[in-house]
């Protein structure tokens, strides 16, 4: 045991006065390409990362979950396991667990009290899915401890429903990759059929995440507004979701929609194509092609979907300048802050780091954090 898993176990013992008997862990994720396509029934290509959330736990013989959030100043909470979701008025971290518990119980599953110590190392607000990681870690813990046998993809769907209860009408990408990731692979998710395909990430490529340290918050207007704009575009086009539309169809109806709606739809339609092309680029080990696709994705998010911010655009350009040709880099995640992802030849990593150190602070008034990762495994549960 290492890292957050070990810390969680130590903190459990300190707080609850005995050793935990279960360990659940799920990583965060980085999306390589396919942004805001998931809730349009489209395609995404994320992978799990080296950071994650750990929960150690033990049955407590009551009907209550008793929680210790190590990273939030050792904050605590407890709630009665019930099919009715009763949010805490201020402890938003606990509301994810409260919602997950009630959603699982609404399906008729019996859930009893657990003592749980939670800790994680995914930087909050970095666009690396700390909340999906929290939901899946907890959902899998409850499923395994009580023998509920909930398949990981169903835990992912429950996590998505949990986000909706907490105010974000997100898609299915984050919870699915966090649950189902495989080491050394990115996951192609068809967000309509929920079919999964593991796509090998060539071992001679590194994944670099650069956190702008401008925190993003998806629980808020902008994300849900984008989703509504997409749904509106689909309605005008007469399709179930933008997944079913082509650029020809969009151009034919251009006169029937406002300019913003047109651009939102153009992002999603072209982004779906880019995901499928990126899969080919990975399969062919074609970094130049991947670079073209990832930068086109970035420009589309910047100009058509309008979810990037100057600090993020600046980071992308700093990395492009440092690497030159073959800079496969784009913003990743929901937007409005967060992180940039780059797929790079390991020999370029030092160059990228030096360029960011030299230029980012002047542009953003803060330092960026650089994370080197590979693709990691998804959720795991262990009896201790
Ligand atoms: C957030 C959401 C996902 C997805 C991305 C954008 O991470 O949780 O469902 O929509 O934004 O691609």
Listed in order, strand segments (DSSP E) in 135-216 are 185-190, 196-200, 206-211
Q: What is the pLDDT of residue 326?
A: 86
Which ligand 1 atom sits nearest the alpha carbon of residue 37? 12
Residue nearest to atom 10 of ligand 1 (CA): 36
User: Would you tell me the crossing angle of helices 92-106 and 130-145 to the nearest 10 degrees?
Assistant: 40
335 lines ligand 1 (CB under 6 A): no
Q: What is the pLDDT of residue 219?
A: 53
In 3D space, the residue among 107, 15, 42 whose CA is nearest the CA of residue 278 turns out to be 42
Q: Is 3 a catalytic residue?
A: no
Inter-CA distances, 86 with 66, 108, 300, 345, 349, Å: 15, 18, 40, 49, 47
Residue nearest to atom 11 of ligand 1 (CA): 334
173 lines ligand 1 (CB under 6 A): yes
Alpha carbon of residue 180 to chain centroid: 12
- Averaged in consecutive runs of 10 residues, what is the pLDDT profile of the chain (384 residues)? 87 98 98 98 98 98 98 98 97 97 98 98 91 98 98 98 94 98 98 98 92 78 93 98 98 98 98 98 96 98 97 98 92 95 95 97 96 96 98
CA of 170 to the centre of ligand 1 (A): 6
> Per the residue annotation, which of 38, 174, 206, 272 is the catalytic one?
174
Which ligand 1 atom sits nearest the alpha carbon of residue 223? 11
Q: What is the pLDDT of residue 202?
A: 87
CA of 335 to the centre of ligand 1 (A): 9
Q: Is the pTM of this model over 0.95?
A: yes
38 lines ligand 1 (CB under 6 A): yes
CA of 111 to the centre of ligand 1 (A): 29
* Direct distance between the N- and C-terminal alpha carbons of the chain, in angstroms, rounded to an integer: 10
Task: Write down all domains in the chain, each with its CATH number in brackets.
Answer: 3-200+376-383 (3.30.230.10), 206-372 (3.30.70.890)
Q: What is the C-alpha to C-alpha distance for residues 86 and 67, in angstroms, rounded to an integer?
A: 15
What is the best residue among 168, 173, 194, 300 to mutate for testing ligand 1's pocket, by most ligand atoms within 8 Å of CB? 173
Which ligand 1 atom sits nearest the alpha carbon of residue 127? 7
Unique residue bearing structure tokens 């990037």 = 308
Which ligand 1 atom sits nearest the alpha carbon of residue 173? 9
Which ligand 1 atom sits nearest the alpha carbon of residue 172? 9
35 lines ligand 1 (CB under 6 A): yes
CA of 218 to the centre of ligand 1 (A): 9
Q: What is the pLDDT of residue 221?
A: 83
What is the best residue among 36, 127, 168, 275 to mutate for testing ligand 1's pocket, by most ligand atoms within 8 Å of CB? 36
Q: 110-138: b or e for each residue (b if 16 or more CB lie within 10 Å)?
A: ebebbbbbbbbbbbebbbbbbbbbbbbbb
User: Would you tell me the crossing angle of helices 310-323 and 349-364 to the nearest 10 degrees?
Assistant: 150
What is the best residue among 46, 165, 170, 178 to mutate for testing ligand 1's pocket, by most ligand atoms within 8 Å of CB? 170
Q: What is the C-alpha to C-alpha distance for residues 45 and 341, in angstroms, rounded to an integer?
A: 12
11 lines ligand 1 (CB under 6 A): no
């Amino acid at each position: 045991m290492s890292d957050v898993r070990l810390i969680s176990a130590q903190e459990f013992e300190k707080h609850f006065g005995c050793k935990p008997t279960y360990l659940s862990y799920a990583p965060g994720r980085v999306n390589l390409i396919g942004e805001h396509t998931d809730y349009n029934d489209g395609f995404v290509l994320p992978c799990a990362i080296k950071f994650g959330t750990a929960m150690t736990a033990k049955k407590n013989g009551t009907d209550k979950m008793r929680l210790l959030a190590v990273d939030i100043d050792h904050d605590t909470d407890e709630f009665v396991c019930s099919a009715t979701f009763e949010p805490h008025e201020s402890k938003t971290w606990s509301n994810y667990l409260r919602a997950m518990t009630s959603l699982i119980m609404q399906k008729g599953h019996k859930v009893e009290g657990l003592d749980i110590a939670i800790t994680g190392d995914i930087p909050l607000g970095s666009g690396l899915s700390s909340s999906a990681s929290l939901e899946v870690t907890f959902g899998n813990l409850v499923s395994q401890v009580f023998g509920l046998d909930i398949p990981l993809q169903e835990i992912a769907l429950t996590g998505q429903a949990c986000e909706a209860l907490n105010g974000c009408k997100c898609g299915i990408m984050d919870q699915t990759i966090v649950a189902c990731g495989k080491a050394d692979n990115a996951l192609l998710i068809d967000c309509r059929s929920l079919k999964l395909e593991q796509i090998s990430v060539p071992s001679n490529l590194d994944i670099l995440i650069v956190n702008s340290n401008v925190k993003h918050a998806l629980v808020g207007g902008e994300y849900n507004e984008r989703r509504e704009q997409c749904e509106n575009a689909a309605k005008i086009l007469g399709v179930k979701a933008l997944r079913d539309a082509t650029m020809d169809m969009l151009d034919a109806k251009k006169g029937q929609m406002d300019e913003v709606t047109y651009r939102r739809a153009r992002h999603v339609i072209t982004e779906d194509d880019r995901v499928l092309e990126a899969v080919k680029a990975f399969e062919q080990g074609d970094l130049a092609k991947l670079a073209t696709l990832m930068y086109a994705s970035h420009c589309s998010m910047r100009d058509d979907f309008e979810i990037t911010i100057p600090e993020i655009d600046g980071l992308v350009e700093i990395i492009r300048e440092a690497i030159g040709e073959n800079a496969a880099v784009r913003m990743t995640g929901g937007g409005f802050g967060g992180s940039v992802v780059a797929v790079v030849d390991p020999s370029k990593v030092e160059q990228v780091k030096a360029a960011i150190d030299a230029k980012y602070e002047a542009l953003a008034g803060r330092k960026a954090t650089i994370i080197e990762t590979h693709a990691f495994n998804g959720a795991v549960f262990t009896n201790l």
